[in-house]
Structure 1
Amino acid sequence: MSHDHGAHGASHHDTLVVTAVPLSSPITVETDPRQPRQPMPASDGADYLKTIPGFASIRNGGTNGDPVFRGMFGSRIKILTDGSEMLGACPFRMDAPTSYISPEAYDSLVVTKGPQSVLWGPGASAATVRFDRGPESFDAPGTRVDGSVMLGTYGRFDRRIDAAAGNEAGYVRLIGNESEANDYKDGNGDTVPSKWDKWNGDIALGLTPDDDTWLEVTAGRGNGEARYAGRGMDGSRFLRETAGVRFEKRNISEHWRKLELQANYAYADHIMDNFTLRDPSGGMDMGGGGMDMGGGMDMGGGGMDMGGGGMDMGGGGMDMGGGGMDMGDDSMDMSDGMAMRLDRRTRSTRVASTWEWSDFSWIAGVDAQQQIHRNRDGDHWDSDYEQIQYGLFNQLTWYASDRDRVIAGARLDRYHVDDHNDDTATAGDTRRTTLPSGFVRYEQDLASAPVTWYAGVGHVQRFPDYWELKPGLDGPDGSPNAFAGVKPEKTTQLDVGAQYRGERTRAWVSGYLGYVEDFILFDYDGANTQVRNVDANIAGAELGAAYDFSDNWTGEASLAYAWGRNATDDQPLPQIPPLESRFSLTYERDDYSVGALWRLVAPQHRIALNQGNVVGQDLGDSAGFGVFSLNGAYRFNPNFTLSSGIDNVFDNTYSEHLNLAGNAGFGYPGNTRVNDPGRMVWAKLDFHF
């Protein structure tokens, strides 16, 4: 058996358990998502991203949270797997893009902070996140097998296998995983509806006829179900079907260093209902401001007002407030409870070339994407939304000296968006626009110290996404609905930072200051949900440090703070996570390690009550909390490593600020946050052959 893996191939796992992921370069974070981590190894992409300072997640139960970076949500964060987007179908983002990602199935995770890249598609004003798998590299005929098994409290059971076989000319790679858990209990001992069961299977066929050529064809499928304490319906189907082809050719000529081509297909088929994973109840709360029947029912004036989140049945449709569910098309069958089925097809392509000279590197290319969203009406599928985007991009790096670099990029995107829903005021309407984006950044390695610092300015114009234009949402005053009235968002941001790498000390800091013109804001007001544009100021920073006290002892600390202001209304921006810090201490010797993690989160008093995004809204002030956890790992031999942990050792009761309101069907009052897990114990065995 012989194999030789490069940076993207399977790698040896350290005995350390990851508690926080630091910067790996001045503007990026890069890590191996297969490494053991604490809290309990992630069930989805959002769960893993929380280990990176600056990231948070809108919680709604056990899995499938929605990631937030620096207080920014949704399509402001570009989430890519192998260079393409896997977009969900649920109008309430029950299946956010990260819910289809099993982090351990990927070789690397790269996060580019801020609007500091134009290479990976439009709209990424907050960050670009890439989960990637690279080519296998065998120096002779052989095989390799990687995998893991994890057991934990409350029925947590994960298993993963990643195997490849090949030779110098090509390979086949098979990846499979399944993750499941039962409802967990919070620190009070109360059960929180949160169980899930998800699986994925992928295959890749690669050709590597020489060191400079790579062709890979991939296909994948997955499905699952998840129960949510913070939603009125659960996800009983998360069907994923993907296919793709990637081609790379390097060293084509003296200056033409690389050609990249890829084409991808992604299909999401989603069903949500209130009877597969729960008993149907009279109340329904859609999370971000949906229906709560605890507040009473007012049927005066020809409509129905359900109190907490409101149901407006005037005009022949049902508006669920926070999610904007329109039942005028009979897409929900209420004969046996409530159910809704939707799907989305995403087709994309990308071509890029890299050119290099003595002092310059230039990447230029084109990309395109088509999204078609549909809902099921009886036996028929009806399309309600279609978006087509074409983009041109180029990015230039000038190596001004051995220590100085200037990186600049620009892109131009053309949009064609159709409202196909027959029950809206804009039925049949089309929006067309062209939006520019760009950035420039200066980086320098100091001669006097092992320090790299940077400063960059970026500008991104982001077209409103499906969730901000979908049927059932009111638009700005004077517009018939959100589709007609919501303007593109324009972010201009300064990013600065520095990184120090000494003999025993490693430290980094990254900060930002931005102005967002036409920030897209959701207002929740009883039966109606309005989407409008405001101007906003944003600022914040992340910093971290690690110090080796000795050859065996290492301490780490990180801090993340985000701030936002609605300049139009002179009040805070909603859904901004509070100040958060992490402190860890690790002892590592020979083949074992032990460590402790202390996570501290401050109260959040800067809120905008009843405002937010399509998933969540500010429910009020939140209390601070601290969580203490322990971990350990032991490498039996080069092939087997056992890691384990106790999360929330002291069984504290706490809830995150970014949180869906508890659902009345599970006995929660409408504005009650969903508590996170109490004490949880887990053990994970990784193997590599």
Structure 2
Amino acid sequence: MTQYLSPLLSGVALIAMASPALAQQTDPALQDVILVAGSRFDSPAHQAVTPDATPLLGSDITLLTARIPGAARIGNGELSGQMQYRGLFGERLNLRVDGQRFASGGPNLMDPVFHYAPAPLVQAVIIDRGVSPVSAGPGLAGGADAVFKRIGFGETGDTALHHDLTVGGRSVNDSLSVGGVVGAASADWRVNLLGAWEEGSDTGFADGVIGGTGFERGVFGLSAGARTTLGEVSLDLRRQNTGPSGNPPFPMDIQYFDTDFARLAYAHDFGAIHLDASVHHTDVTHLMDNFSLRPSPAAMQTRASLADATTRGGEIALGLEAWGGRVEFGVDTETVDHHVSITNPANADFIVTPFPDIRLERTGAFIEWTGPLGPVQSQVGLRVDQNRHDAGTAVLGSALPMAPRMLANAFNAADRSGDELTVDAVARVWTPVRNHLSWRATLARKQQMPGYIQRYGWLPISASGGLADGNIYVGDLVLEPETAWITEIGFDYASPRAYLRPTLYYRQVDNYIQGTPFDSTPGLLDTLVEMIAGMNGDPTPLLWRNTDARLYGFDLDGGYDLDGPLRIDGVLNYVRGERRDIDDNLYRIAPPSLQLGLTWEASIWLATLEARAVAEQDKLSATNSETATDGYVVLTAYGDWQVRDGVRLSLGVENLLDEAYQDHLSGFNRNGFGDVPVGERLPGSGRGAFLRLSIAG
């Protein structure tokens, strides 16, 4: 059983096993790995591990990332969950899908980055421990990459067929998910098709049904590559169509996301120099409305919003041995175009563009060195990015009244363009493993540009970049970049019977962007913004402003191999977020939590009883009128059976005691269907069975 106790050095392995290629790309001091499918590996950087099955608790892979130290999930819908990491979330995290950075299409982040990573297609989620390396791109804190399944190159010139398929279902919402890859490869070429389909109805909870939570999502595409004497070329193409899907915390629901991904990459060794280059393109088209999946309001209040986002980018990097280690340096560029229009389907003269023709441009360069530094191993890096931003002219139809016209005129007359230089620096050190122990420490300075919602939101509406809190926000054209000063220290311990990975961290964030009262007289409608916000249902709008903040905490994972076939594994999280400019707490911070699992393991099967305990959250943001939540404990039982080589079956029951609970990071219900009162925080899902069958070969 000792092979189960080494995830400290190989990452956090949660479902099945990773491929050798994936294992060799990660360093245990720098990354956690959530493994979803593949085969057992042995690597110099990773001890051999046969990880457990994980409960199939939904289609959103943020349910997986929430199981690692420091992480939590913001539940804004079955397909719209966001990853929180040590108190930060949204665009502050450097999130990628299959190595590709791109902008979400929805102004309320109904399609956060991991919306585009359906679980049946994901091989592994690689978590940047603590902070992202500068080579992975900009970002205020940590990050993650959802790596897709693909058929790799063969070892001989013979052609071989391969497949990796998964089918699963949950009774709590009558959902079905099916998908995977099929293809062929030789030593010189590879090609695979990929596809997935997921659908579900409204989710049940202890006291009834959460109305408007059904969903559907489909993906298809291909991945191909070729090796020649001139180098290796790869092409990835993917189309994702998300159909009608409910988002009860938002004022509207998803009608569709139609999204195209393309990435062309090249790699080659020129003697001792390794070259990586790629170009990528993502195009998102989005429609949402407030009447198709929830009780329709009066005709004059019906709304349908159209949004699109296009991301174009490229990068080139060179790596070589230098200064006793390995140095990588490169340049990358990214251009993102956003546009949002709000319409009334019952009135052709009602149209307004709250985010008109916005363009964000970034060009960056980095250098990163990894190698021994005296008695320790180290990674040090520097990144410099030139950022530019601009917005078009706000447009209003003839049905819009004078007040928003006056705000639009002021926005159109303002200077809407600008540029900013941001600088990131990261230094990480860790000791070689001695007596089963390795110490590690990080110092970093990271910067993050304001989001387009925060800068260009001239119209008082509830577009919040994914907060889904019912508040109305307006932007500020002169926001400064956020700057985080980060320090953390911890150790990794792994003996034949136990492992433990605690981390202490502190993040001081200057110019932290937070919703704040619009003026010094909240509730007194003495400005155009407050008057319009009052007509839209919130007489106390919030203005995005630069503030000062700090986040600090402690997290760990660990386990112990008991006598006989039993072992225990756990994850503990604690994070605090505070304002430094005033006496207040940061908004929407995960409460302390503890997850413990007791596993009985036989030769080809295992069974786990897991308890997730979450404390009350009473460290609240008064500025954002945040409300407290009670603590709760949820039990889940699940098992995993290796039926035969290449075939495994996972099944279990979530929320065994049918506990009624509310997660602090969940939004508030705005859908009149179902058994959750409007204005109440959305509950967690009730008791239900789940099953997953995986077939690979």
Write the letter of the residue equivalent to 1:521.
Q
CA distance in 2, matches of 1:156, 1:610: 39
Residue aligning to 1:510: 503
- From 68, 76, 79, the counterpart of 2:84: 68
Q: Name the structure, 1 or 2, with higher relative contact order (CA <8 Å, separation 6+).
A: 1
Q: Deviations over 1:310-359 (max 9, x none)?
A: xxxxxxxxxxxxxxxxxxxxxxxx67932111100001111111111472
Deviation at 1:680, TM superposition (A): 1.3
- 2:474–2:542 contact (8 Å) kept in structure 1: no
Pairs within 5 Å for 1:100-249: 100-122=116-138, 124-133=139-148, 136-139=152-155, 140-153=158-171, 154-209=173-228, 213-224=231-242, 225-249=244-268
- 1:103–1:131 contact (8 Å) kept in structure 2: no
Residue aligning to 2:331: 366
- From 97, 106, 109, the counterpart of 2:113: 97
Residue aligning to 1:565: 578
Distance 1:349 1:234, change over 3 A: same
Write the letter of the residue equivalent to 2:481.
P
- 1:474–1:531 contact (8 Å) kept in structure 2: no
> Does the residue aligned with 1:149 lie in a helix, a strand or coil?
strand
Q: Deviations over 1:19-47 (max 9, x none)?
A: xxxx9722320132338854425412323
Residue aligning to 2:632: 625
Pair 1:435-2:410 in alignment: no
Residue aligning to 1:324: none
Pairs within 5 Å for 1:485-496: 485-496=478-489
Pair 1:482-2:475 in alignment: yes
> Does the residue aligned with 1:227 lie in a helix, a strand or coil?
coil
- From 675, 686, 689, the counterpart of 1:678: 686
- 1:115–1:459 contact (8 Å) kept in structure 2: no
Distance 1:278 1:671, change over 3 A: closer
Residue aligning to 2:371: 398
Residue aligning to 2:28: 25
Write the letter of the residue equivalent to 1:431.
G
Distance 1:190 1:381, change over 3 A: closer
Distance 1:359 1:551, change over 3 A: farther
Residue aligning to 2:3: none
Deviation at 1:669, TM superposition (A): 5.3
Pairs within 5 Å for 1:273-312: 273-281=289-297
- 2:177–2:197 contact (8 Å) kept in structure 1: yes
Write the letter of the residue equivalent to 1:223.
N
- 2:15–2:36 contact (8 Å) kept in structure 1: no
Write the letter of the residue equivalent to 1:503.
P
- 1:456–1:494 contact (8 Å) kept in structure 2: yes
Pair 1:644-2:651 in alignment: yes
Write the letter of the residue equivalent to 1:460.
K
Deviation at 1:14, TM superposition (A): 6.1
Residue aligning to 1:322: none
CA distance in 2, matches of 1:377, 1:657: 30
Residue aligning to 2:448: 462
Deviation at 1:165, TM superposition (A): 0.6
CA distance in 1, matches of 2:27, 2:597: 19
Residue aligning to 2:666: 659
Any gaps of 5 or more consecutive residues in structure 1?
Answer: 1-6, 16-22, 283-333, 612-617
- 1:162–1:175 contact (8 Å) kept in structure 2: yes
CA distance in 2, matches of 1:113, 1:76: 15
- 2:120–2:177 contact (8 Å) kept in structure 1: no
CA distance in 2, matches of 1:34, 1:372: 35
CA distance in 1, matches of 2:91, 2:247: 23
> Does the residue aligned with 1:237 lie in a helix, a strand or coil?
strand
- 2:476–2:544 contact (8 Å) kept in structure 1: no
CA distance in 2, matches of 1:510, 1:137: 38
CA distance in 1, matches of 2:392, 2:507: 35
Any gaps of 5 or more consecutive residues in structure 2?
Answer: 1-9, 19-25, 39-51, 395-407, 462-472, 523-537
Pair 1:341-2:301 in alignment: no
Residue aligning to 2:560: 547
Distance 1:636 1:670, change over 3 A: closer
Superposed CA RMSD in Å reads 2.7
Distance 1:644 1:12, change over 3 A: closer
Residue aligning to 1:417: 389
Residues matched between the structures, number: 605
Residue aligning to 1:599: 612
CA distance in 1, matches of 2:205, 2:133: 41
Q: Relative to structure 2, which stretch is displaced further, 104-113 or 633-642?
A: 104-113
Deviation at 1:591, TM superposition (A): 1.2
Distance 1:116 1:370, change over 3 A: closer
Residue aligning to 2:359: 386
> Does the residue aligned with 1:453 lie in a helix, a strand or coil?
strand
Deviation at 1:602, TM superposition (A): 0.3
Pair 1:40-2:56 in alignment: yes
- 1:53–1:560 contact (8 Å) kept in structure 2: yes
Residue aligning to 1:297: none
Q: TM-score, normalised by structure 2?
A: 0.82
Distance 1:481 1:43, change over 3 A: closer
Residue aligning to 2:516: 523
Deviation at 1:213, TM superposition (A): 3.8
Q: Deviations over 1:459-507 (max 9, x none)?
A: 01211012322323679xxxx9734222110100102121011111111
- 2:65–2:71 contact (8 Å) kept in structure 1: yes
Write the letter of the residue equivalent to 1:222.
Q
- 1:135–1:206 contact (8 Å) kept in structure 2: no
**Overall identity of the aligned pairs, in %:** 21
Q: Deviations over 1:554-596 (max 9, x none)?
A: 1101101111110111211111100011000111112111111
Write the letter of the residue equivalent to 2:444.
G
> Does the residue aligned with 1:572 lie in a helix, a strand or coil?
coil
Deviation at 1:278, TM superposition (A): 2.7
CA distance in 2, matches of 1:109, 1:214: 24
Deviation at 1:215, TM superposition (A): 1.1
Deviation at 1:12, TM superposition (A): 11
Deviation at 1:398, TM superposition (A): 3.1
Write the letter of the residue equivalent to 1:353.
L
- 2:454–2:474 contact (8 Å) kept in structure 1: no
Pair 1:352-2:330 in alignment: no
CA distance in 1, matches of 2:209, 2:104: 31
Residue aligning to 1:314: none
Residue aligning to 1:285: none
CA distance in 1, matches of 2:117, 2:15: 22
- From 46, 49, 53, the counterpart of 2:65: 49
